[in-house]
Amino acid sequence: MTGSHAFSSSLSLTNRNKTMFILSTPPTFFADPTLRVSSSKPSSSSSIYMRSATPPSPVAAASCSSSSLFSLKVKARDNLASPKDFPAKMAATVSSRTFLNAQNEQELLSGIRKEVEAGSLPPNVAAGMEEVYNNYKNAVFQSGDPKADETVLSNMTVFLDRIFLDVTDPFVFESHHKAKREPFDYYMFGQNYIRPLVDFRNSYVGNMPLFIEIEEKLKQGHNIIFMSNHQTEADPAIISLLLEKRLPYIAENITYVAGDRVINDPLCKPFSIGRNLICVYSKKHMLDDPELIEMKRKANTRSLKEMAVLLRSGSQLIWIAPSGGRDRPDPHTGEWVPAPFDASSVDNMRRLVDHSGPPGHVYPLAILCHDIMPPPMQVEKEIGEKRVISFHGTGLSVAPEISFSETTAACESPEKAKEAYTKAVYDSVIEQYNVLKSAIHSKKGLEASTPEVSLSQPWN
């Protein structure tokens, strides 16, 4: 999923006669991790995601009032068509099962071109679909799976079908989006799509006992905040894939603070629909269109209130990336490191959970998965980034909860306390990240463990 600074300015929310100023940030898949979902008949593969006989409709859950919906008016590039230019032409679609009926690669790619010719698929989206197909195919074949061709065709027929359905009938996200599991199970779809890209033999989880402790606290009604770095659009899927065998409750119930791009990009939306999200407009893109600034701010206020309501109910696990966006390599060294955390974002999220009522805890979380789906080297304004995809090992680690009172006891002012706490959280993420990097990139495996970060492979 994918993200950047959630709110462009401090927002106030009155709760129990206390005013909290919130500035949070976003980023922005349940089976045996070694399972390869494939089918010799791709046209029937979608049935593994269906929970009823009702034909899937990606907008079935969008029947709420317009005031509660979270949508973005995306201006297309001058030389590219926008999906919003096409609704009047949708009756011209070649077939509602153009992609699910494809029996081989030729038929699948031919279906993309036929829909463009029929005027039912924007050329820029079609180009992205074809590019993703080729990149995904190459990545899955890197795994050495003898059934890679079947896996690619099975997963890509469903993926392209979901993209096409959303272009013809766009799904609109609410400020608090709950993962859509039926009649089409978008969560399972995302799991099975990303799974073949993960080299589980070279993937690791740090401090599994802490994750187990966190699940117990959730079941006791506590709130948990993961302060994490953010690497790719696939972060939510990677987190779930690495935890689902031992901790399916956590894998399925994380709520991600997600930037607007992951809920508007046609190639990203099908995965986002399968996750629990708090949808926000990112600070990095807040000023892209002056006409939309006020609308975005109001939407972010609504999202903030949704988050406060969630936390008051207890047993919430929220993932947030205080860096304000995805990590990128150092331009001089080429080394990937977690981007620095924004102190205001960390502090305001901490205060939000502290004032929510139920006990709350903040844990530093590190994720390493940039090799699988690296972001563009620079932040791009336009939606529709190039998707580079690879088969690679991944890593996830959590560190002990960091106490604000203990960390800031010697600080002379609130500002210094805020900076000290942010540094403590960020330093913990860096420490964990370096252990994961040693295990995966330096190929030290489990021997990369330290007294602070104990690595394991819980799927074995």
The b/e string for 104-142 (b: 16+ C-beta within 10 A; e otherwise) is eeebbbebbebbbebbbbbebbbebbeebbebbbebbeb
State how far the alpha carbon of 131 is from the alpha carbons of 127, 196, 294, 348, in Å.
6, 18, 35, 40
Exactly one of 169, 289, 354, 427 is catalytic; which is it? Answer: 169
Residue 220 CA to residue 429 CA, distance in Å, equals 26
> Could you give the 3-state DSSP secondary structure of residue 447?
helix
Residue 354 CA to residue 25 CA, distance in Å, equals 17
The token pair that represents 352 in the structure block = 């939000």
Residue 367's beta-bridge partner residues?
396
Residue 448 CA to residue 203 CA, distance in Å, equals 12
Give the up-direction half-sphere exposure of residue 371: CA atoms within 13 A in the CB hemisphere: 18
Q: Alpha carbon 330 to chain centroid distance?
A: 23
69 CB neighbour count, 10 Å cutoff? 15
Nearby residues of 118 by Cβ (< 8 Å), 6 or more positions away: 89, 92, 93, 94
Note if 149 is an active site residue.
Answer: no
Q: Alpha carbon 81 to chain centroid distance?
A: 26
**Alpha helix locations (H) across 19-147?**
105-117, 123-142
The token pair that represents 290 in the structure block = 């002056």
Angle ∠(394,38,445) on CA atoms, nearest 5: 20
Helices (H) and strands (E) in the chain, counts: 12, 13
State how far the alpha carbon of 165 is from the alpha carbons of 115, 187, 260, in Å.
12, 17, 20
424 CB neighbour count, 10 Å cutoff? 17
Q: Name the maximum alpha-carbon separation found in the chain.
A: 69
Q: Which amino acid is at 116?
A: V
Residues annotated as part of the active site: 169
